[in-house]
């Protein structure tokens, strides 16, 4: 995979919550991917890739963040079913 390295500046005490800079970076990638998936910016597959997880691992992470793995609401699903 072709990668781009990003550098961001954070307050030193931002790491205190996770105690581990590598863990902090993993959680930040995951949180961003989950949010972008939840808002419809990314597909589940692309969000999983950004998070560095398989699709099934990402689906489990969605559950952890209490985000539905479905990108369609009940109304949209009902409309789709009635169109057929």
pLDDT for the residue numbered 29: 94
pLDDT tens-place string over residues 7-65: 888 787 776 766 777 888 899 999 999 999 999 999 999 999 999 999 999 999 999 99
pTM score, whole prediction: 0.76
User: Dihedral, CA atoms, 27, 29, 30, 31, nearest 10 degrees?
Assistant: 80
pLDDT for the residue numbered 18: 65
Going by C-alpha positions, the residue among 52, 29, 34 that lies closest to residue 44 is 34
pLDDT for the residue numbered 25: 86
């Amino acid at each position: 995979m072709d990668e781009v390295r990003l550098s961001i500046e954070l307050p030193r005490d931002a790491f205190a919550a996770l105690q581990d800079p590598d863990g902090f970076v993993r959680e930040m990638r995951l949180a961003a991917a989950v949010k972008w998936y939840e808002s419809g910016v990314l597909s589940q597959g692309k969000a999983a890739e950004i998070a560095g997880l398989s699709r099934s691992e990402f689906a489990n992470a969605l559950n952890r963040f209490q985000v539905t793995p479905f990108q369609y609401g009940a109304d949209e699903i009902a409309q789709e079913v009635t169109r057929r």
